[in-house]
Each structure stands twice: as structure tokens, then as C-alpha cells.
Amino acid sequence: MSFRNFKMVDYVVFGRGAFNQLDEILAPRRKADAPMIFLVDHFFEGKPLVNRIPLRGKDKIIFADVTYEPKTTQVDALANSLKESFGTVSGIIGIGGGSTMDLAKAVSLMMNNPGSSADYQGWDLVKFPGVYKAGIPTLSGTGAEVSRTTVLTGPTRKLGMNSDFTPFDQIVLDPELTKYAPVNQRFYTGMDCYIHCIESLEGTYLNEFSKSYGEKALELCQKVFVAKDHWDDESDDQLMMASYAGGMSIAYSQVGVAHAVSYGLSYLLGTKHGIGNCIVMNHLEEYYPAGVKEFKYMVEKNKIDIPQGICKGLTDEQFDTMINVSIGMKPLWENALGKDWEKIMTREKLRALYERL
């Protein structure tokens, strides 16, 4: 028996207004003639947050287009243009949702690793540490701020650069930054966290480490989306800590059915992670009865639209593509259904599930 020995984020600052400490935090990380690069979610272009970024010398703000989830080509283009312009940089600071944070992690790694980010999609393929990297979430739920992966769509697969070099050196958790997120988006990304908790807590990989974090994260999600009648500052605080704890929970277990099925949707149809998980969760009574019941209650209470019928009219070939991607996520299925998962989740059964979505 060998236990996972996982690398964590080095420094964490939490608090309303913590963003104001960024200049001080970055000062000792600055190298002569090498700028800090602030990779900022394009939503913030022209918004007041941009004026609070502590620019010094040749520092640069790059707005990240996150209309689609991060691609290896996008990562390579960003890293190559930074190498061309500056040789090296002092650090990459990702400010945004899970997509921007993943881009920042991947670009940091590609500043110091040869070839294309597509060469490193998988487990422990990254050869050298990246440049200094910090993550500053503006949406709560994915757990990308704590995870050891960065999910990328590449030429042949959607898979993370999963390695000990991937976690951030620093994260800045400032709940004020999530305050103006749109209601639907906040819910979809928040449900990513809720679903991480259910999949971890109901999974066969569960242990006391994951359980401790998973239970806390679940309780915080319930406070925010079940107990309260309106959103307040405390909700931003609670969901930010739920995301962190949910990420810590799956770090030592694994996600499950909703994620495995949602990856197929995302690969074929480009469905985004948060909403894709919600579309699937809506139909998983058989696997997570209590979680799905509560999920439906939260959808109704928060007046959220979950799309239906997204697989209508797809061809057999398209269903096969989704099934292949999904069935390929072996650890997720094993966590969800146990060692004999292949006998339980047959291709026919998965096809029937996709047809219902």
C-alpha cells in the first residue's frame, strides 16, 4: 500500500481586501529585468479591479479570453509570446475563474519546459518547475486554486498537466472579488464544488482526510444555497472557503459520475465545466439520491435554469465519442462504483444516460 504524498500550495492569504497586499507579496519574488505578468479574466477589462493591480517597471497585464475553456494552443501562444518579448518573467499571476487560473498555471510551467503543453497532458510528465505563479480566484467553486492540475483541451484529448510542479506558489483568497459574479455563473461554479463534495463523500476512495474537508465544504455550500434567502458578503466568504476545502477533499480522493459524464459533453459539445456538471447531476438520482434531491431543491430555490435536451439529434458516432471520453476516465468510475465498475456502467447504460441529458 502506498499513500499519495501530495504537494500543496505554499502560501495562502485569506480575507476581504487581501488583494491590496499583492504588491507586498510579490516584492520579494521580483527579479531584475523580468516583469510580473498579470493574466486577468477578460471580464475585468475596463473594470476598477484592473486599476488596483500593482504594476511596476515592465509588468504587463494580459486579458485572458475565456470564452472557451483553456486550450493547449492558447497556453503555447501565451508562453511563446512572453519568451519572445521578455526572455523570462518574474512570475505569472492569474486573476479570474478556474479557466484563468488554469491558464496561469500552465503558462508558468511552459516558460521553463520545452515543446508544447500538449506533450505534458497526463500524470507527472512535466520535467521542470515553472516560473513563480500566484492564483487569485474571482469565482468560487472549481478548487483550481488548490489543485495539482490544469485542465486543457489539446489536439487529441482534454486532460490536465497533473504534476507536483502544477500547484500555485501563492493564492490570494479575497471574497470581495466574487461579489459581482452573475447569479447563474456563480451557481454553476458553486455547484462544481457541491458536486465535488458529493462525489468525494459518496466515493469508494473516501478516507478521513477527504471526508473532513468534504463535510466542511458541503456544509458551507448548504449554508449558501439551501439555508439563506439572499446573497450577502458572508456568502462570498463561505463559498470561497467551500471551494478551497472541496479542492482539498478531492486531492485525496477523486470525483465521480457527474464529472466523468460531463467530460464527454465538454469534449464533443464544448459544454463548460460548471454548467455541464449541473446538466448531468440533474439526472443522477440512481447514483447520488440524496445529493441529487438537494441539488434540485437548490436549483429551484435559487431560480436557476439548467439546460435540457442538449444531446437531441446527435449521431451514433457522436454518442460514441462522448462514451469513449467518459469511459476513459477510469479512476473516476472506480471511485464512484468500485472495482467492478465496468460491469455496472456499460456503454449501453451510459448511452441511455447521455440520451436523457
Helices H / strands E in the chain, number of each = 14, 9
| Binding of ligand NAD by 238 (CB under 6 A) | no
Amino acid at 26: L
Say how far apart CA 198 and CA 117 lie, in whole Å.
31
Residue 187's nearest CA partner among 275, 68, 265 is 275
| Binding of Zn ion by 145 (CB under 5 A) | no
- Among 94, 135, 143, 154, the residue binding ligand NAD under the rule CB under 6 A is 143
* Contact of 75 with 152, CB cutoff 8 Å: yes
Contacts of 38 by beta carbon, 8 Å cutoff, 6+ apart: 53, 55, 59, 60, 61, 62, 93, 95
Q: Annotate each residue in 44-83 with x if it binds Zn ion (CB under 5 A) or - if it does not, as one string.
A: ----------------------------------------
- Among 74, 117, 162, 178, the residue binding ligand NAD under the rule CB under 6 A is 178
Say how far apart CA 26 and CA 19 lie, in whole Å.
11
| Binding of ligand NAD by 49 (CB under 6 A) | no
How many C-beta neighbours within 10 Å does residue 115 have?
10
CA distances from 193 to 62, 196, 216, 297, 316 (A): 28, 5, 11, 16, 32
Q: Annotate each residue in 305-324 with x if it binds ligand NAD (CB under 6 A) or - if it does not, as one string.
A: --------------------
* Contact of 274 with 191, CB cutoff 8 Å: yes
The sign of the CA dihedral 65, 69, 72, 73 is: negative
| Binding of Zn ion by 176 (CB under 5 A) | no
Q: What are the DSSP E strand ranges found in the chain?
A: 11-14, 36-41, 60-64, 91-96, 122-123, 132-137, 151-153, 158-162, 170-173
- In the complex, least distance from residue 265 CB atom to Zn ion, rounded to whole angstroms: 13
Q: Which stretch binds Zn ion (CB under 5 A): 41-49, 174-182, 184-192, 264-272?
A: 184-192
Q: Give me 144's grid cell.
A: 483550481
Q: Which stretch binds ligand NAD (CB under 6 A): 8-16, 107-115, 122-130, 174-182?
A: 174-182
| Binding of ligand NAD by 154 (CB under 6 A) | no
Q: At what angle do helices 233-251 and 183-201 cross, to 10 degrees?
A: 40
How many amino acids of this chain bind ligand NAD (CB under 6 A)?
32
- Among 69, 145, 192, 334, the residue binding Zn ion under the rule CB under 5 A is 192
Q: Which stretch binds ligand NAD (CB under 6 A): 66-74, 120-128, 200-208, 317-325?
A: 66-74
Is 137 in a helix, a strand, or coil? strand
Q: Which stretch binds ligand NAD (CB under 6 A): 3-11, 146-154, 289-297, 306-314?
A: 146-154
Q: Which stretch binds Zn ion (CB under 5 A): 27-35, 41-49, 108-116, 189-197?
A: 189-197
256 binds, among Zn ion, ligand NAD, none (CB under 5 to 8 A by kind): none
- In the complex, least distance from residue 313 CB atom to ligand NAD, rounded to whole angstroms: 26
- Among 142, 210, 253, 277, the residue binding ligand NAD under the rule CB under 6 A is 142
How many amino acids of this chain bind Zn ion (CB under 5 A)?
1
Say how far apart CA 186 and CA 257 lie, in whole Å.
22
In the complex with ligand NAD, the residue whose CB is nearer, 133 or 272, is 272
| Binding of ligand NAD by 235 (CB under 6 A) | no
- Among 19, 38, 43, 267, the residue binding ligand NAD under the rule CB under 6 A is 43
Q: By the criterion CB under 6 A, which residues form the site for ligand NAD?
A: 41-43, 66, 69-70, 96-100, 102, 138-139, 141-144, 147, 149-151, 178, 180-182, 185, 189, 192, 272-274
Q: By the criterion CB under 5 A, which residues form the site for Zn ion?
A: 192
